Amino acid sequence: MKKRFNPIKDRASEIIEFLMDSPDIPQDESLRFKLRLSIEEAVENVVSYAYDGGIGWLEAGTSLDNDSLILTIELRDAGTPFNPLEKADPDVTLSAEERAVGGLGIFLCKKMMDSISYRYEDGNNVLTMTKKIAE
């Protein structure tokens, strides 16, 4: 299931709800919390930073491999090339006041999801997150 949102300015909530309403998203509340947090962080990053002024598109989608029960969430945009995985993880042993600003959202995504990858392909940023939804 995938959909293109254009423009994305002020549409983060709509994009997040579209992904969370996907039939691929499991109903388990604990798992939904992790997925929602990861989706929110990734979508907010694109909506806030990919395009100057938020005028641009975002293609968001989910898929489920029924054999391995691996959920894949993919975000694709044509905004400024940016790999969020290159930023160093924040030092969470420091207090909030001592920590550098930024980077906590992607750090949380890395902790909540099984894998996150980024690639720049055909002029597009592609962020892919996967999560095994059953043991």
- Residue-range domain boundaries for the chain: 2-132
For residues 42-61, give the mean pLDDT.
Answer: 92
pLDDT at 102: 54
Amino acid sitting at position 105: G
DSSP string, 99-123: SPSS-HHHHHHHHHSSEEEEEEETT
Tens of pLDDT, residue by residue over 2-38, are 999 999 999 999 999 999 999 999 999 999 999 999 9
Q: How confident is the model at residue 89 (pLDDT cuts 50, 70, 90)?
A: low
3-state helix, strand, coil in the chain (%, to 5): 35, 25, 40
pLDDT at 14: 97
> Is 1.10.287.130 the CATH classification of the domain at 2-132?
no
Q: How confident is the model at residue 100 (pLDDT cuts 50, 70, 90)?
A: low
Beta strands in 13-123 (DSSP E): 58-65, 70-77, 115-121
